[in-house]
Amino acid sequence: MYSFVLVLHVASISLVVGTLFVQSLAVIFRLRLKDAVQVEGAQWVQYRIYKFIYYPILIVAVITGLILAVQTGAFQAGKWLHWKLVLLLILVGFGFMNGRQINNKSLPKPLALFVHIGIFLTAMGMIYLVKVRPF
């Protein structure tokens, strides 16, 4: 059972981060569109992906992560998991910012780039904490 939950967790985390990363990149590319019909179509697709792919996968990732933490006793093992949970909250915050950016037609490009780079750096920090477990 542990192996199945671990595989499901890793796959769902990959999809969460990948979806956020591609969505934030799509927001940046959408800012270059000039035709209102194209902008509206891009927003519709982005919104559907956000609601029907990002949220369900995020729920699976969080639930399987909690199951793994309980099964392995990771809450008592060290502070690395607590910091990973902090980074998870930051990543979810970037996800909410990305969702708001999807509906914003007058979004400043620096803010869109901030969210895009923030998602990347937060995901890197989470991977580092899981792999190295520095404390």
Quick: pLDDT tens for 109-135.
889 899 999 999 999 999 998 888 777
Other CB atoms within 10 A of residue 10 CB:
14
pLDDT value of residue 79: 79
Q: What is the mean pLDDT of residues 61-75?
A: 89
Structure pTM? Answer: 0.87
**To the nearest whole percent, how much of the chain has pLDDT over 70?**
99
pLDDT tens digits along 16-45: 999 999 999 999 898 888 899 999 999 999
CA distance 85 to 44: 31
CA distance 68 to 49: 27
Q: Average model confidence (pLDDT) for the chain?
A: 90
CA distance 49 to 128: 28
pLDDT band per the 50, 70, 90 thresholds, residue 73: confident
> What torsion do the CA atoms of 43, 45, 49, 50 make, to the nearest 10 degrees?
10
CA distance 122 to 135: 18
Residue 105 has pLDDT above 80, yes or no: no
pLDDT value of residue 104: 85
The domain spans of the chain are 2-132
Choose among 67, 48, 47: nearest CA to 59: 67
